[in-house]
Structure 1
């Protein structure tokens, strides 16, 4: 998985999804053998030569200027997340180190402090590849109450949220609109893959999901990009029933991110979350699973 091959695949996919009538390209009633725009039509809209654009799609061009990328993004009608993704793909092979073993992921001191503040809010700490590095009691109960609460403490057994969404029936049943959640997961993984094209663990995860889930394979081939920052989901929790939560990703700099789930004040969803918190408090001791930053190792 190289930046150039991903770039070409992304351009071809988005070009095929853009109809001539969407961008004012006349077809004069002709029957077209392929969906979407032709390469020369897209090149004309972007103001670049057809031969150059073809080389870019085929991975034969080593670089593209920011002006060319912006022109192509405009022709393809990409949103801001997709534009960033395009720029990441174009620069991946030039600026990403090769062959370096990724450093072990850990809960940072900053993330640990933030989790302490969020004690009454469902929260989980996610690593680069959506591995669960930590969760508070309510986060575990809401997102994965069927799993061992101590699983994130063991790197070899850490749950992976992308894997859970596609391969775990409990997590799948949690979401009333599962396809929406699944597309968000895939879209976010695309952003990560563009920034880290040489990551072997990420390659392994994508390969596993593609092999074990035909739905993931189809969504991945669609090349949709989506930053999972804020989204509302209707959940069907086995203990407290239906509730609607807003899942927000809190980024506090390089390293792990924290995903929290909030509910509207005075809503039945807020009541359901309060019931879940009460059940968790009765079943566990507050000191059982504190969130601690992992000790530093010589490898990290």
Structure 2
């Protein structure tokens, strides 16, 4: 990918490829990006009164003093918070800032994690992240699903997938262990652009999920390595990452072009799996009676019988 994509929500920062471990830089850039996405009128400030009807604002979005005013803290205190120079911040202040900046639940959680990361990382720096494992019962459940489904771990790592999901996305059995990752496939494999009708929209979503994961697991070296590799190899990822979007992306709609069965429109839901390992089961379904459901059925018949192809089925069904 040689040319970065352009999005109306892209907000450039001074250091778009800062390491996820650098909590001070992450906090600074995240709050700056959050301010830049809001206008004074979005938070109840009238431009003529606060910005001057005839004077242009030097920076997009809210100023630090406006955020401080609405959050009920001094400008100096908010500036120190944004620069990562505060050691103890009350939950009430963090909630006030999050409310002012209209943070979503995922963004709020990420914000809190950035503020408390130094203490947490110091306490856990000697620990290795727990290896994520998929229980045998989940493997059996995946095999019995009639819809595409896979289990994703930290950083969108594909830990298990049923045949339909392998036919649509990453097939873990056909790539090296370190490449069994949905984000790596999506940003670095040219096939992903051909498969995804709405590649640009999902590119924003995948980066937002990775950003949320770095907030919850700053000590994970594999996740840190993944972010670094994507930033080096994908200009698109670098541009999107610098916007500091955060989201869990637990549900949505996806339009795909499969090379054998054509267009497939799917809805997806991500469900937390029991066990406390941050594993998500993602299930994709097509509307009943739709052309997409027919395409999935054809693909399912193909994946169930080695050597049988959708093209062959189509030829046999032709009059």
1:74-223 matched pairs, under 5 angstroms:
74-96=99-121, 97-118=124-145, 120-144=146-170, 150-151=173-174, 156-223=177-244
Q: Distance in 2 between matches of 1:231 and 1:127?
A: 19
Gap change, CA 1:284 and 1:115, over 3 Å in 2: farther
8 A contact 2:98–2:108 mirrored in 1: yes
Tell me which residue corresponds to 2:4.
none
Query: Of 275, 280, 296, which residue of structure 1 is paired with 2:303?
Result: 280
Tell me which residue corresponds to 1:22.
42
Find the residue that maps to 1:209 and give its secondary structure. helix
Q: Distance in 2 between matches of 1:273 and 1:83?
A: 38
Find the residue that maps to 1:150 and give its secondary structure. helix
How far residue 284 of structure 1 moved from its aligned partner, in angstroms, is: 6.5
How far residue 221 of structure 1 moved from its aligned partner, in angstroms, is: 0.4
How far residue 158 of structure 1 moved from its aligned partner, in angstroms, is: 4.4
Which segment is superposed worse, 29-38 or 66-75?
29-38
Q: Distance in 2 between matches of 1:284 and 1:137?
A: 14
Mind listing any 5+ residue stretches in structure 1 that lack a counterpart? 286-300
8 A contact 1:107–1:133 mirrored in 2: yes
Tell me which residue corresponds to 1:59.
84
Tell me which residue corresponds to 1:269.
292
8 A contact 1:151–1:157 mirrored in 2: no
Query: Of 44, 66, 70, which residue of structure 1 is paired with 2:69?
Result: 44
How far residue 114 of structure 1 moved from its aligned partner, in angstroms, is: 3.1
Tell me which residue corresponds to 1:229.
250
8 A contact 2:132–2:153 mirrored in 1: yes
Q: Distance in 2 between matches of 1:121 and 1:272?
A: 11
Which segment is superposed worse, 246-255 or 44-53?
246-255
How far residue 163 of structure 1 moved from its aligned partner, in angstroms, is: 0.5
How far residue 103 of structure 1 moved from its aligned partner, in angstroms, is: 3.0
Q: Distance in 2 between matches of 1:108 and 1:10?
A: 36
- Could you report, residue by residue, the CA deviation over 1:74-124 in whole angstroms, capped at 9, with x for unpaired residues? 111112222222122222222341132223332224532432442x22111
How far residue 177 of structure 1 moved from its aligned partner, in angstroms, is: 0.6
Q: Distance in 1 between matches of 2:138 and 2:74?
A: 48
How far residue 20 of structure 1 moved from its aligned partner, in angstroms, is: 1.8
8 A contact 1:176–1:234 mirrored in 2: yes
8 A contact 1:188–1:228 mirrored in 2: yes
Query: Of 219, 244, 257, which residue of structure 1 is paired with 2:280?
Result: 257
Tell me which residue corresponds to 1:34.
59
8 A contact 1:3–1:91 mirrored in 2: no
Which segment is superposed worse, 172-181 or 120-129?
120-129
Q: Distance in 2 between matches of 1:112 and 1:63?
A: 44
